[in-house]
């Protein structure tokens, strides 16, 4: 396989560091890796895979000679530099929401819609973390049985809000157990007007609200799922909630499949054979996925699969995955791998 020159924009962030880890761990055909970030982070030294990397400031010229540029530094940075990178010959794999719903830009989970990469125009969007794990688990079901409806409630980890949010949860947990004052400055999101403690709490807001009363995170799940499945008629409705969990998003997913009379065993069998999915589902052994045990793992874990006694095509699933890996860094690297094969 041809070796490629790679850049990671946002290399010092929670996802950027995982992209570097995955590139090295998976023997990605790397010729060179350039780590890019803000001016403030330029000069930072990062050691990985026995190499020392010096972080550089992102400027238009950074992308000269780059084959693949991973962007994970926020939507505004992607908007500023992604087209620039493409102009200079790079393919951009963008982990922000900047271009996800742009019609001609593919939104890709390789296990689901690798086809969408055909004929791309230089930018490829990586979906939202909570969307990726859900569509990965539902794809084998949808493909075989059809899928009419999804109602999802999420249980999302703070690392989805960046490394400052991880620090905040840890600090607040300390403050709480020492009975000292709880300081909240980051969550639900750094740019929000009000901040609430996340330790020992659940915050039903991720990202900001739009006029419909839904949060942008909820709308991402609803709109991105339809785009990835290529099914605008699919009914998707979401409630997104932040939890005091460091890493690992969980989802309580209710689905109605395309036919009646499907059994739990059929879903088990479909999921057991699905790429990137691990079934952890045995109530008699108290086996089910949990975020604490999904951290650091590449797979999407599915359990608590059961028939809705109230609807002939209804099922519940509990879907858990590491939001920084399959939900972000790993999926981006898999997109690059798919492009190269």
Active site residues: 129, 249
Distance CA 127, CA 118 (A): 17
- Told to check if 160 binds a copy of itself by CB under 8 A, we report no
- The backbone torsions φ and ψ at residue 233, rounded to the nearest 5 degrees and listed phi first, read -85, -15
- Told to check if 216 binds a copy of itself by CB under 8 A, we report no
Q: Which stretch binds a copy of itself (CB under 8 A): 57-65, 78-86, 91-99, 288-296?
A: 288-296
- Told to check if 163 binds a copy of itself by CB under 8 A, we report no
CB of 32 or CB of 177, closer to a copy of itself:
177
Determine contact, residues 11/22, Cβ cutoff 8 Å. Answer: no
**Residue 136 exposed, middle or buried by CB count within 10 Å (0-12, 13-18, 19+):** buried
Pure H helices in 178-290: 216-229, 264-272
Determine contact, residues 156/241, Cβ cutoff 8 Å. Answer: yes
Q: At what angle do helices 330-340 and 14-25 cross, to 10 degrees?
A: 40
Cα dihedral: 4, 78, 329, 47 (round 10) = 70
Could you say which of 252, 297, 337, 338 contacts a copy of itself (CB under 8 A)? 252
CB of 51 or CB of 311, closer to a copy of itself:
311
- Told to check if 185 binds a copy of itself by CB under 8 A, we report no
Helix (H) / strand (E) element for 83: namely helix 75-87
Query: Cβ 21 to a copy of itself, closest distance in Å?
Result: 21
Could you say which of 28, 63, 214, 229 contacts a copy of itself (CB under 8 A)? 214
Could you say which of 57, 143, 170, 260 contacts a copy of itself (CB under 8 A)? 170
- Told to check if 28 binds a copy of itself by CB under 8 A, we report no
Query: Cβ 202 to a copy of itself, closest distance in Å?
Result: 5
Output the CA torsion sign for 300, 304, 305, 309: negative
Distance CA 275, CA 281 (A): 17
- Encoded one letter per residue, x for contact with a copy of itself by CB under 8 A and - for no contact, window 310-329 reads xx--x-x-x-----------
Determine contact, residues 279/268, Cβ cutoff 8 Å. Answer: yes
- Told to check if 303 binds a copy of itself by CB under 8 A, we report yes
Distance CA 335, CA 10 (A): 18
Q: Which stretch binds a copy of itself (CB under 8 A): 31-39, 69-77, 83-91, 205-213?
A: 205-213
- Told to check if 104 binds a copy of itself by CB under 8 A, we report no
Query: Cβ 18 to a copy of itself, closest distance in Å?
Result: 19
Interacting residues toward a copy of itself by CB under 8 A: 149, 151, 153, 155, 169-170, 173-174, 176-177, 188, 192-194, 196-197, 200-205, 209, 212-214, 222, 235-237, 239, 241, 243-246, 250, 252, 254, 264, 283-286, 288-292, 303-311, 314, 316, 318
């Amino acid at each position: 396989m041809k070796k490629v020159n790679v850049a990671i924009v946002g290399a010092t962030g929670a996802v950027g560091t995982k992209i570097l880890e995955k590139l090295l761990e998976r023997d990605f055909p790397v010729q060179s890796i350039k780590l890019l970030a803000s001016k403030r982070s330029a000069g930072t030294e990062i050691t990985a895979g026995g190499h020392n990397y010096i972080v550089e400031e992102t400027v238009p010229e950074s992308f000269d000679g780059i084959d693949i540029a991973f962007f994970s530094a926020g939507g505004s940075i992607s908007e500023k530099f992604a087209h620039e990178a493409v102009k200079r010959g790079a393919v951009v794999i963008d982990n922000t929401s900047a271009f996800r719903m742009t019609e001609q830009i593919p939104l890709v989970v390789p296990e689901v819609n690798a086809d969408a990469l055909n004929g791309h125009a230089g930018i490829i969007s990586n979906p939202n973390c909570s969307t990726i794990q859900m569509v990965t688990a539902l794809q084998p079901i949808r493909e075989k049985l059809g899928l009419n409806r999804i109602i999802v409630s999420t249980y999302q980890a703070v690392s989805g809000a960046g490394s400052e949010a991880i620090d905040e949860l840890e600090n607040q947990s300390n403050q709480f157990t020492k009975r000292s004052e709880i300081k909240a400055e980051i969550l639900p999101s750094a740019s929000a007007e009000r901040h609430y403690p996340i330790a020992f709490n659940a915050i039903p807001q991720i990202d900001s609200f739009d006029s419909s009363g839904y949060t942008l995170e909820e709308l991402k799940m609803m709109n991105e799922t339809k785009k990835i499945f290529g099914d605008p008629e699919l009914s998707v409705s979401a409630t997104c909630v932040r939890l005091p969990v460091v890493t690992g998003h969980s989802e309580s997913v209710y689905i109605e499949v395309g036919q009646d009379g499907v059994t739990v065993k059929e879903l088990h069998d479909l999921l057991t054979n699905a790429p990137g999915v691990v079934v952890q589902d045995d109530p008699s052994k108290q086996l089910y996925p949990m975020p604490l045990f999904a951290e650091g793992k590449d797979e999407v874990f599915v359990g608590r699969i059961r028939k809705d006694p109230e609807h002939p095509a209804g099922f519940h699933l509990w879907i858990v995955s590491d939001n920084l890996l399959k939900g972000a860094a790993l999926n981006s690297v898999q997109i690059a791998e798919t492009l190269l094969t």
